[in-house]
Amino acid sequence: MALTNTQIPPDSTGDKLDMRSLVRGADTLLQQGVYFPGLPTYWALSAAITPAANKYHILIRNDSGSAQSLYLLGLYYYNGLTAVTGVVNEYRFQRQGYGTPAGGAAITADPNNSADPALANVSIYGGATSGVGTDGAIRRYLNVSTEEHTAAVGNLDRLLEDTNKLSLPGPWSRPFVLRPGEAAAVKQIGSGTVGSLRWAIEFAVEPD
């Protein structure tokens, strides 16, 4: 569906707007609904990341001078279910300094709608070990196990993995936004090195 706009002088001929009429006291009022088509939205999924202390499992950066804002809508992890025992690590979702990550692999985000514009001026990495700048404010603590489970517990894990780890905004709040030159990352604090995790970030882009 193409997006367009029409400027209509009051009570003129031409395009018609769909409204409903209602009476409030001595006044007859017209009400009109507003349709918001949404913003271009993208999904970034990492490869399987092997745990290691101080590793940045997934990092997203709104490049400096991008002239756009990134709205972070979702954060998810997926357990590789490697056959290990008793491994739980702490992870922190946090603001991250602006840097050039090294030691990991770049991630290509996929648009939710193939008609959306190609993503530009956004850098996403999985498994970076250096070059990420200074750690910033912590937004979430996550304690994640890469331990192999029985089928029953594994089924519960699947439900937990598909639970968004970010809080969506309520009527009085705003979403978590990355302005140009800002970044966020999931950093491992625990020292466990067995198993694997995949991480996913869903985000929308709005030009400034």
| Average confidence (pLDDT) over 194-208 | 92
Q: At residue 113, does pLDDT exceed 60?
A: yes
| Average confidence (pLDDT) over 95-117 | 93
Provide the 3-class DSSP secondary structure of residue 156: helix
How far is C-alpha 202 from the geometric centre of its chain's CA atoms?
Answer: 3
Confidence band of 165 (pLDDT split at 50, 70, 90): confident
Tell me: the pLDDT tens digits for 172-197? 888 899 999 999 999 999 888 888 88
Q: At residue 32, does pLDDT exceed 50?
A: yes
Q: What percent of the chain has pLDDT over 90?
A: 50
To which residue do tokens 């959306």 refer? 116
Q: What is the pTM of this model?
A: 0.81
Nearest 5 degrees, angle CA 134-CA 168-CA 119?
A: 65
Of 65, 67, 40, 93, the residue nearest 199 (C-alpha): 93
Task: Identify the pLDDT of residue 182.
Answer: 96
As a whole number of angstroms, the distance between CA 80 and CA 203 comes to: 24
Task: Identify the pLDDT of residue 30.
Answer: 84
Tell me: the pLDDT tens digits for 115-132? 999 999 999 999 999 999
As a whole number of angstroms, the distance between CA 46 and CA 127 comes to: 8
75 or 149: which leads in pLDDT: 75
* Residues near 38 by beta carbon (within 8 Å), at least 6 away in sequence: 204
How far is C-alpha 108 from the geometric centre of its chain's CA atoms?
Answer: 14
In this structure, the dihedral spanned by the alpha carbons of residues 137, 142, 143 and 149, taken in order and rounded to 10 degrees, is -160
Q: Are 95 and 20 in contact (CB under 8 A)?
A: no
Task: Identify the pLDDT of residue 33.
Answer: 75
Task: Identify the pLDDT of residue 13.
Answer: 79
Provide the 3-class DSSP secondary structure of residue 157: helix
Q: Are 55 and 129 in contact (CB under 8 A)?
A: yes
Task: Identify the pLDDT of residue 14.
Answer: 77
Q: At residue 157, does pLDDT exceed 90?
A: no
Task: Identify the pLDDT of residue 158.
Answer: 57
Task: Identify the pLDDT of residue 1.
Answer: 45
